[in-house]
């Protein structure tokens, strides 16, 4: 034991642990005169003792050893017996003769159960396992015939049957005597010899007068008995079934019941999941009948069945995430996670940790391993909102993920493979960002496989009335009471408004009107709509200015208007607060110093 035991995932290690986070030869545990100690063998993800990384460390009883995702604990060594015979304690003296008759009989029953139980318990998605399990049960217990009969309403139907050797099985009909014994008594039935069993005095109740020994056990399900497991022998006079066979068949029937119940439960969950997916699609519907929205819907129908990366472009508040969700829930990945990430809302120093996860000890405060968003979305769809805000340093790792579908956690070397689809969104002109060096060109082309532009609300005025009615219905139901309606002046105002914050701004305005209005009608005073008068600009005063300048000026004026209350400013602008913070950084807008 002086050389110790090597722990790793290589087949040459003494203790093999199948964990990608563990090195091939990770650590060695050894014992010498000073006691137990552990040595890290230059592993990629290091070895930890009681949470601290080590190179070499002594071990005490109760110490926790962290290796990859596994945690081992050293417990006190069991004292060894000395060479002196006087210290040996006899716990049980075993005879040197053959085993008892009962043990010899039980052995094949237990061996048979070991083979059939996984088949019966794993019926979901593979009904052929019922036939295979019954075949092994009949042959293992040396029965001549066997059948699994399940209740379907009032009828008892044969779902699986098997005969051994030369015994013919032309259909199967269960004896009514056996049926009533099992169903009414709700217990297993054993008849070692039907010719001597008073329950079968009427030989016509046994199908075929040659049947001499019978086993039948109820198949339990949650609501009662779901059927009967039946076995018989034709030469029961020489080989009758015994009590150990009865116990074995009863356990097998229980395994069948568990498999049937699991199948029913999983089928129910699958149906429930499909219903929820349909509900999500219906509740996250894209409202509108304009040609521009029809074009977006047509894109979703064509893009959803594929796994291609999608880039959704559009102004803030147009519904880019709604498009991403529609793509996900109309795809084959709809039963897997949809993970939305706002790249603008994550502090730059934590972007890679949030997206890709980190290993324990990767940085200060990383006291345990954490899975990132991409890892959590395995099998599903990741929505990267505000992709233009992603730092250049993180864009390279995202590019590799898109190309190879694998990545490493921060502070780790193990490559993690994922199966997911990426949908990205931006309101920026990424081609301009590329030309100005703020966005990687290769990442832009990798994202821009399929592209869709969500139109702003001002370009789809025909949809405005539909959206207003939809939000009135939605928020009136949420608040309770009667459905609110708009006054004539409010309707006119909403239809004439330019809606710079698009659908999100409209939604917020309708919600505030429904909540704040005291009666059934929403008036002008109930709205949180910014009704500042337009500046009287004549054509002579107009100047050619960039959108960036106008955006900066508008944000500054809005902040001054609300006393630099950023939450209120974001609401009036119709954008998320994280988007406002991003604009403040981009424009270098800071509070004015008080004089």
Q: Please report, for the domain that includes residue 135, its CATH number.
A: 3.30.450.40
Give the percent of the chain with pLDDT over 90. Answer: 35
Residue 338 lies in a domain: yes
441/392 same-domain check: yes
Domain end marker among 427, 453, 479 = 453
Q: Would you state the pLDDT for residue 233? A: 86
Query: What is the rounded CA–CA span in Å between residue 360 and residue 412?
Result: 9
Query: What is the rounded CA–CA span in Å between residue 15 and residue 215?
Result: 46
Query: What is the rounded CA–CA span in Å between residue 412 and residue 34?
Result: 33
Q: Would you state the pLDDT for residue 535? A: 40
449/461 same-domain check: no
Contacts of 512 (CB under 8 A, 6+ apart): 526, 527, 528
Instruction: Decide if pLDDT at 244 tops 60.
Output: yes
Q: What is the mean pLDDT of the chain?
A: 83
- The residues that bridge with 220 in the sheet, in sequence order, are 225
Burial (CB < 10 A; 0-12, 13-18, 19+), residue 84, is exposed
Residue 337 lies in a domain: yes
Q: Please report, for the domain that includes residue 467, its CATH number.
A: 1.10.8.60
Instruction: Decide if pLDDT at 99 tops 80.
Output: no
- Between the alpha carbon of residue 365 and those of residues 358, 361, 462, 550, the distances in Å are 11, 8, 53, 42
Query: What is the rounded CA–CA span in Å between residue 58 and residue 171?
Result: 70
Instruction: Decide if pLDDT at 452 tops 90.
Output: yes
pLDDT digits (tens, 9 = 90+) for 367-387: 888 899 999 999 999 999 999
pLDDT digits (tens, 9 = 90+) for 259-288: 988 888 888 887 776 666 666 555 567 888
Give the domain extent around 480.
Answer: 457-533
Domain end marker among 496, 511, 533 = 533
CA 416 and chain centroid, separation: 17
Q: Would you state the pLDDT for residue 166? A: 56
301/439 same-domain check: yes
Taking residues 322-326, what's their average pLDDT?
93
pLDDT digits (tens, 9 = 90+) for 514-544: 888 888 899 888 887 765 434 444 444 556 6
Q: Would you state the pLDDT for residue 384? A: 95
Instruction: Decide if pLDDT at 300 tops 50.
Output: yes
Q: Would you state the pLDDT for residue 38? A: 92
Residue of 416, 414, 417 whose CA lies nearest to 43 = 414
258/295 same-domain check: no
Q: Please report, for the domain that includes residue 51, its CATH number.
A: 2.60.200.20
Residue of 71, 137, 83 whose CA lies nearest to 360 = 71
Residue 270 lies in a domain: no
Contacts of 187 (CB under 8 A, 6+ apart): 218
Q: Would you state the pLDDT for residue 175? A: 74
69/216 same-domain check: no
Q: Would you state the pLDDT for residue 77? A: 53
Residue 87 lies in a domain: no
pLDDT band at 422 (very low <50, low <70, confident <90, very high): very high
Instruction: Decide if pLDDT at 235 tops 60.
Output: yes
Q: Please report, for the domain that includes residue 356, its CATH number.
A: 3.40.50.300
pLDDT digits (tens, 9 = 90+) for 169-203: 555 667 777 888 888 778 888 888 777 776 665 54
H/E stretch holding 72: strand 70-73
Across 164-278, the runs of DSSP E, i.e. the strands, are: 189-191, 213-221, 224-233
Q: Please report, for the domain that includes residue 579, its CATH number.
A: 1.10.10.60
Q: Give me the phi and psi of 128, to 5 degrees please.
A: -65, -20
Q: Would you state the pLDDT for residue 168? A: 56
149/40 same-domain check: no
Taking residues 482-490, what's their average pLDDT?
90
Provide the 10 A C-beta neighbour count for residue 59.
18
Query: What is the rounded CA–CA span in Å between residue 562 and residue 81?
Result: 82
Torsion, CA 359, CA 364, CA 367, CA 371, rounded to 10: -40
Residue 463 lies in a domain: yes
The structure tokens listed for 42 are 């230059």
Q: Give me the phi and psi of 49, to 5 degrees please.
A: -125, 115
pTM over 0.85: no
137/251 same-domain check: yes
Taking residues 142-147, what's their average pLDDT?
89
- Max intra-chain CA distance, the chain: 117
Q: Would you state the pLDDT for residue 388? A: 92
Residue 437 lies in a domain: yes
Taking residues 559-585, what's their average pLDDT?
83
Half-sphere exposure of 243 (CA within 13 A, CB side): 3
Domain total of the chain: 5
448/461 same-domain check: no
Q: Would you state the pLDDT for residue 85? A: 46
Residue 96 lies in a domain: no
Residue 82 lies in a domain: no
Helical ranges in 388-428 per DSSP H: 392-404
Asked which of 79-83, 433-437, 579-583 is least confident by mean pLDDT, the reply is 79-83
Does residue 444 contact residue 434 with C-beta atoms inside 8 Å?
Answer: yes
Taking residues 576-586, what's their average pLDDT?
85
Dihedral over Cα of 249, 254, 257, 259: its sign:
negative
pLDDT band at 306 (very low <50, low <70, confident <90, very high): very high
Contacts of 97 (CB under 8 A, 6+ apart): none
- Looking at residue 410, the DSSP 8-state letter turns out to be B
Query: What is the rounded CA–CA span in Å between residue 255 and residue 113?
Result: 10
235/207 same-domain check: yes
Domain end marker among 453, 477, 505 = 453
pLDDT band at 444 (very low <50, low <70, confident <90, very high): very high
304/439 same-domain check: yes
436/517 same-domain check: no
Query: What is the rounded CA–CA span in Å between residue 173 and residue 155?
Result: 12
Contacts of 107 (CB under 8 A, 6+ apart): none
pLDDT band at 580 (very low <50, low <70, confident <90, very high): confident
More confident residue, 504 or 155: 504
Instruction: Decide if pLDDT at 326 tops 70.
Output: yes
The DSSP bridge pattern shows strands 213-221 and 224-233 to be antiparallel
Q: Would you state the pLDDT for residue 273? A: 67
329/425 same-domain check: yes
Q: Would you state the pLDDT for residue 536? A: 43
Q: Would you state the pLDDT for residue 96? A: 40
Q: Would you state the pLDDT for residue 277? A: 60
């Amino acid at each position: 034991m002086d050389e110790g035991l090597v722990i790793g995932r290589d087949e040459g290690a003494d203790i093999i642990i199948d964990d990608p986070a563990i090195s091939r030869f990770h650590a060695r545990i050894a014992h010498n005169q000073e006691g137990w100690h552990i040595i890290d063998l230059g592993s990629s993800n290091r070895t930890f003792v009681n949470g601290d990384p080590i190179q070499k460390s002594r071990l005490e009883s109760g110490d926790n050893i962290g290796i990859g995702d596994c945690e081992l604990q050293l417990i006190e060594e069991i004292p060894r017996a000395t060479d002196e015979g006087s210290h040996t304690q006899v716990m049980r003296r075993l005879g040197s003769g053959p085993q008892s008759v009962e043990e010899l009989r039980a052995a094949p029953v237990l061996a048979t159960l070991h083979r059939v139980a996984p088949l019966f318990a794993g019926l979901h998605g593979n009904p052929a396992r019922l036939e295979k399990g019954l075949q092994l049960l009949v042959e293992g217990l040396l029965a001549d015939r066997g059948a699994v009969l399940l209740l379907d309403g009032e009828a008892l139907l044969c779902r699986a049957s098997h005969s051994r050797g030369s015994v013919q099985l032309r259909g199967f009909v269960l004896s009514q005597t056996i049926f009533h014994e099992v169903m009414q008594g709700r217990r297993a039935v054993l008849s070692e010899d039907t010719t001597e069993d008073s329950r079968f005095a009427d030989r016509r109740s046994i199908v075929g007068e040659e049947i001499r020994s019978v086993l039948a056990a109820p198949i339990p399900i949650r609501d009662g008995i779901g059927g009967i497991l039946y076995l018989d022998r034709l030469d029961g006079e020489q080989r009758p079934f015994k009590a150990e066979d009865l116990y074995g068949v009863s356990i097998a029937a229980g395994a069948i019941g568990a498999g049937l119940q699991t199948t029913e439960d999983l089928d129910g969950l699958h149906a429930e999941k499909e219903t929820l997916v349909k509900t999500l699609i219906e509740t996250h519907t894209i409202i509108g009948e304009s040609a521009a929205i029809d074009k977006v819907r047509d894109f979703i129908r064509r893009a959803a069945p594929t796994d291609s990366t999608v880039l959704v472009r559009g102004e803030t508040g147009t519904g880019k995430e709604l498009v991403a969700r529609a793509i996900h829930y109309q795809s084959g990945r709809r039963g897997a996670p949809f993970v939305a990430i706002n790249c603008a809302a994550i502090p730059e120093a934590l972007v890679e940790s949030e997206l890709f996860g980190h290993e324990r000890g990767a940085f200060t405060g990383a006291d345990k391993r954490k899975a990132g968003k991409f890892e959590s979305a395995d099998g599903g769809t990741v929505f990267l909102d505000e992709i233009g805000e992603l730092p250049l340093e993180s864009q390279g790792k995202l590019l590799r993920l898109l190309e190879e579908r694998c990545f490493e956690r921060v502070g780790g070397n193990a490559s993690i493979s994922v199966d997911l689809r990426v949908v990205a969104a931006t309101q920026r002109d990424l081609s301009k960002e590329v030309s100005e060096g703020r966005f990687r060109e290769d990442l832009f082309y990798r994202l821009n496989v399929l592209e869709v532009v969500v139109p702003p609300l001002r370009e789809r005025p025909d949809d405005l009335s539909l959206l207003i009615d939809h939000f009135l219905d939605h928020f009136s139901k949420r608040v309770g009471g009667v459905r609110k309606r708009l006054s004539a002046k409010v309707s006119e105002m909403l239809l004439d408004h330019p809606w710079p914050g698009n659908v999100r701004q409209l939604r917020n305005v309708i919600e505030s009107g429904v909540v704040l209005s005291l009666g059934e009608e929403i008036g002008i005073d109930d709205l949180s709509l910014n009704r500042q008068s337009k500046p009287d600009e004549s054509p002579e005063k107009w100047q050619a200015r960039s959108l960036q300048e106008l955006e900066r000026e508008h944000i500054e004026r809005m902040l001054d208007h609300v006393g630099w209350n950023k939450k209120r400013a974001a609401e009036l602008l119709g954008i998320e607060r994280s988007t406002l913070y991003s604009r403040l950084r981009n424009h270098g807008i800071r509070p004015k110093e008080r004089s």
